[in-house]
Amino acid sequence: MTTQEKKITIHEVAEAAGVSVTTVSLVLSGKGRISPATGLRVNEAIEKLGFVRNRQAVSLRGGQSGVIGLIVRDLCNPFYAELTAGLTDELEKQGKLLFLTQSGAQGQHMQRCFDMLVAQGVDGIIVAGAAGQGADMRAIAEQKNLPLVFASRASYLDEADIIRPDNMQAAQLVTEHLIKRGHQRIAWLGGDGSSLTRAERVGGYCATLLQYGLPFHSEWIIECEPSQKKAADAITTLLQHNPTITAVLCHNSTVAMGAWFGLLRAGRQSGEGSIDSYYDRHVALAAFAEVMDDELDDLPLTWVSTPAREIGRSAGQRIIKRVQNDNEEARSQIMPARLVVRAN
């Protein structure tokens, strides 16, 4: 059996470092008064021998593993990618490590990820996207006295530690901006009808139209897959059937890019010669974005930016506080959106 295959024990670490097993345990748990020289010697022995720390055992001894677990649905989604970046930044400042798991685009592996993180003995868990499963995880976390924070795209759980964007406010903000620009016939493009995030955004859009006494038609709210080709085809069909529409609010940046290509195609087919003339005379685009302002696509449209990275940082701060003191009452934190207007 090679050194890599052999499981190194705490006794072997103690022998290599010339200290007692108790001293090694204190170094691993971060408890007790250990001199810097002794701690360095033990850690050098751990590194040399390739000892794998059993973080759950450390936790059971009353210490902390120094690891925070994160469950996201899909890192390819810009919201979760930005959230993870913000969370990582915050945890690194606190000297903590991130244990990242993905539950699948539909959350199909959510419970398995949660159970695995619990078994690993992490200090706390942040769940990003758990509609329908949050209550079960919260109950288990309470039983195990495990800090749990939800960093969500929408509101779906009461009486829980949750940090989320204000989707309705974001939609109201961008819809009102379009209205003040003179648009009175505004359509919606993109998103899945089963999405709670989309429902909150559409609610803000509809409420703002009603507030200003503007027309609202259900056929102006179009579902669309997050595909540039699908969005290009969808906006073409939408405008062919509803030529009086002057602005379209897109569910995300992918849909917005596809809609832009659709307008480009429409401008060429109309014989007007340039997309700019078609864009200015016929229809304006606005969209929701979940990336930093300087990372937005350089298109002449209006963005409403939901602060995914800030949500990640806030989730990191919240979970650290929970780990240090879990007696505070659960609270909901709602993060406002920002309007980013690009020159047309």
> Helix (H, G, I), strand (E, B), or coil: what is residue 105?
coil
Residue 277 pLDDT class (50, 70, 90 cuts): very low
Beta bridge partner(s), residue 303: 287, 340
pLDDT digits (tens, 9 = 90+) for 220-264: 999 999 899 999 999 999 999 999 999 999 999 899 999 999 988
Name the strands in the sheet holding 221-222, side by side, starting at the edge strand that comes first in the sequence: 221-222, 186-189, 247-250, 284-289, 302-305, 338-341
Tell me, yes or no, whether 295 lies in a domain: yes
With vertex at residue 174, the alpha carbon angle to CA 169 and CA 178, rounded to the nearest 5 degrees, is 145
Comparing CA positions, the residue from 121, 126, 145 lying closest to residue 61 is 121
Confirm if 176 and 207 have CB atoms less than 8 A apart. no
Residues 115 and 207 both lie in one domain? no
- Report percent pLDDT > 90 for the chain: 44
Is 1 contained in some domain?
A: no
Residue 249's DSSP bridge partners are 188, 286
Q: Residue 68 has which token pair?
A: 């925070």
For 178-201, the pLDDT digits (tens) are 999 999 999 999 999 988 999 999
Q: What is the pLDDT of residue 341?
A: 85
Same domain, 174 and 280: yes
Output phi, psi for 103, to 5 deg: -95, -5
Cα–Cα dist 155/149, whole Å: 13
- Report DSSP letters for 314-329, one per residue: HHHHHHHHHHH-TTSP
pLDDT at 290: 82
| Under 8 Å between Cβ of 130 and 150 | yes
User: Do residue 299 and residue 174 come from a single domain?
Assistant: yes
Distance between CA atoms of residues 140 and 131, nearest Å: 16
Where is pLDDT greater, at 330 or 69? 69
Residues 247 and 221 in one domain: yes
What CATH number does the domain containing 25 carry? 1.10.260.40
Rounded to 5, what percent of the chain is helix, strand, coil? Answer: 50, 15, 35
Q: 38 lies in which domain range? A: 10-53
Q: How far apart are CA 127 and CA 110, in angstroms?
A: 9
User: Which is higher by pLDDT, 278 or 179?
Assistant: 179
Residue 62, in any domain of the structure = no
Residue 3: predicted pLDDT: 39
Q: How far apart are the first and last CA of the chain?
A: 69
